[in-house]
Amino acid sequence: MNPGTPRNSEPFLRAIAWGAVLATTLPEILWQETGHAASLWLITAESLVIAVSALAFPRLRPLTRFLLALALLNVAWGVIAPMMAGTKPVQTWSDSARWGTRLFIVRTFTLSGVVLGALTLIGSGITRRDLFLRNGDLDAPAQPIRFLGMRKPVPWTWFGPALIVVFAAVMSPFLYLTVHPNFGAGSRIIQFLPWIVAVAALNAASEEFQFRCLLLAHLRKVFSPGENVLLTAAFFGLGHFYGQPSGTIGVLMTGFAGWIWARSMIETRGWFWALAIHMVQDIVVISFLVVGAGM
């Protein structure tokens, strides 16, 4: 995918990178799945361990910014965003706000991850091109994915739209079974459509920057593109255990989506297809939530 990237790295660094990805996700999952409430202290502690280790051990220098980004994103999503959403003024306002407005404002709290993650770029020399913050070559070839039956490269201008349709087709039955939508209230989708699109655009852009653009840029000189894609996909997928879609199936679905989106960035040298596909999937998810049980 990118011949200029090293294809062989020190096994120690590889073990640390994968260990950090698991350490920022699995402890909370295991903690909550054994009957405990979500713990801000656990998230803070694991993030501190990763951050201090990244700064204290010279041998980890090639991974320092990546590890710091993981720790900061973990704090942003697991501590800062929930704390902001749980403050009394926000709760008071939320009780009287309309559904679309409330959802949009709550999602802005996760932008704390954009702010904290961006701090790891200071002095790094990473450029906008390194971050994939451009459309890129929209017609670049998508490389073969044999387990999907793709044995030859195909243009992303064909593969991207096909993925939009396939992902939506796969996501809809899962959401139907988990959200229990009342399609008799389908008019709500039209009513809240501007908010649905706004939240989808905000969420897609925010998550693509945090979970792919930023992390892939920090890993570009450490591991092969294929391994970088897997690392970011694992982090993204595990982070959705309590998201939407959720659970083990949700982890697999979002992990696979993250893998595809990261590949699109590397192959096109831009984030257009990742952003477009992600945004459409979010529109599908939010539309189901609008008519979900209890709404």
Q: What one-character-per-residue DSSP string does 82-145 give?
A: HHHHTSHHHHHHHHHS-HHHHHHHHHHGGGHHHHHHHHTTTTS---TTTTT-S---TTPEEPPB
What token pair was written down for 295? Answer: 């709404």
What are the backbone angles phi and psi of residue 239, rounded to the nearest 5°? Answer: -65, -10
CA angle 25, 102, 239 (to 5 degrees): 10
Q: Which of 152, 115, 83 is nearest to 91 (CA)?
A: 83
- Considering Cα of 50, then 55, then 60, then 62, what sign does the dihedral take? positive
Do the Cβ atoms of 210 and 239 come closer than 8 Å? no
Band (294; pLDDT cuts 50, 70, 90): low
Residue-wise pLDDT for 113-158, tens only, equals 999 999 999 999 999 999 999 999 999 999 999 988 889 999 999 9
Residue-wise pLDDT for 254-279, tens only, equals 999 999 999 999 999 999 999 999 99
Give residue 3's pLDDT: 41
**Look-up: residue for tokens 């926000």?**
90
- Alpha carbon distance 9, 29 (integer Å): 30
The pLDDT of residue 41 is above 50: yes
What is the DSSP secondary structure assignment for residue 36, as one 8-state letter?
P
Q: What is the mean pLDDT of the chain?
A: 91
What token pair was written down for 234? Answer: 């694992």
Instruction: Point out which residues pair with 141 in neighbouring strands.
Output: 155
The secondary structure element, H or E, covering residue 170 is helix 156-179
Band (224; pLDDT cuts 50, 70, 90): very high
Give residue 76's pLDDT: 95
For 131, half-sphere exposure in the C-beta direction (CA atoms, 13 angstrom radius) is: 17
CB neighbours (10 Å) of residue 204?
Answer: 22
